[in-house]
Amino acid sequence: MITVDCSNALAIKDKLLVFVADKLEALPILKSYKFILTSIDDSQIIKKSDVFSAIEDFLKSVNLSSNFELIPIRDTIKIKPLAGKEMKKNLEKLAEKKKELFFECTHCGFMTQYEKEIQTHRLVHYI
């Protein structure tokens, strides 16, 4: 399992998650400020170098490759923004496009875009 910490790059987290998970054919687990990638099949292993490359590909595809620094720490990759006006403009454009609504479990941080699914999930905490 590889964790991608987006606490300083929340504007790109959701699109990054979809891109990386699709590219690596991995199962993403969404948390508030990060996501965890795990293999769908136990025989496959997700390499940190592959995740690193997929993140770089995403940043290049949205013209943000020079605005973020990737910091590997054990099984975590932290995405750190660099200062600059151009980065701020690009992030604002990405944030404007983001109209998706997510619901988060207040107990464990589980997130989904379906209200019915979060209601069903919350019932698990009360069993």
The separation between CA 70 and the C-alpha centre of its own chain, rounded to angstroms, equals 13
Residues of the chain whose pLDDT is less than 70? Answer: 83-101, 127
Q: From 3.30.60, 2.60.120, 3.40.50, 3.30.1360, which CATH number describes the 2-98 domain?
A: 3.30.1360
The full set of domain ranges for the chain reads 2-98
pLDDT in tens, 15-48: 898 899 999 988 888 888 899 998 888 778 889 9
Q: Please tell me the predicted confidence (pLDDT) of residue 43.
A: 79
3-class DSSP assignment, residue 29: strand
Length of the chain in terms of residues written: 127
Q: What is the pLDDT of residue 76?
A: 92
Task: Express the helix, strand and coil content of the chain in percent, nearest 5 each.
Answer: 40, 25, 35
